Structure formats: structure tokens, C-alpha cells
């Protein structure tokens, strides 16, 4: 499995779209630094907000969080319940 995007690539992608993590956070009525958490640890809500701003599915940015060994999408809610 391939690694996801580098943090700098995510930030650069957002800048190319004319926004930033802080602006997205504020638009979602979150603290301006909250979405940065999705860059370092799994957080589906934040991942979807970032991916939506980039016009892609979160699995393209974080394949290690969304794809199983077989390359198919995994249901993350099942993983949370299994822990």
C-alpha cells in the first residue's frame, strides 16, 4: 500500500484552491487550528472536510486510513467498534 499525501502537499493543495486549514476550520464552526489534527491522526470528519475542499475522496489523501490490504475501501466505523 502506498503512503498518503505529505502534510505540505495537502496544505499546498488547499492554497491552490484558494483556502487554508484555518479557513476551512472556521467555515465548519471549529477552532481555527482544529482541522490540523486530521493531518497527524485519524479523524473522519476533518478528513472529509479537507478532501471535499480538494474535490477528492479522503482515501486519495490517506489511503492507509481508508484502504485495506486488498486495496478496497474499509468501513472505518467497524474499526472503531472493534477496538
Please determine, for residue 50, whether its predicted confidence score (pLDDT) is greater than 50.
yes
Helix, strand or coil for residue 67? Answer: strand
Provide the whole-model pTM.
Answer: 0.84
Burial of 15 (0-12, 13-18, 19+ CB in 10 A): exposed
Whole-angstrom Cα distance, residue 55 to residue 38? 17
Q: What is the pLDDT of residue 52?
A: 96
Please state, rounded to an integer, the average pLDDT across all residues of the chain.
88
Please determine, for residue 65, whether its predicted confidence score (pLDDT) is greater than 90.
no
Please determine, for residue 71, whether its predicted confidence score (pLDDT) is greater than 70.
yes
Amino acid at each position: 500500500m502506498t503512503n498518503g499525501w505529505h502534510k505540505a502537499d495537502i496544505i499546498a493543495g488547499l492554497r491552490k484552491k484558494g483556502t487554508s486549514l484555518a479557513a476551512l476550520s472556521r467555515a465548519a464552526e471549529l477552532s481555527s487550528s482544529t482541522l490540523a489534527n486530521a493531518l497527524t491522526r485519524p479523524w473522519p470528519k476533518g478528513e472529509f472536510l479537507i478532501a471535499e475542499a480538494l474535490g477528492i475522496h479522503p482515501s486519495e489523501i490517506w489511503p492507509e486510513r481508508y484502504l485495506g490490504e486488498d486495496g478496497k475501501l474499509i468501513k472505518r466505523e467497524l474499526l472503531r467498534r472493534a477496538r
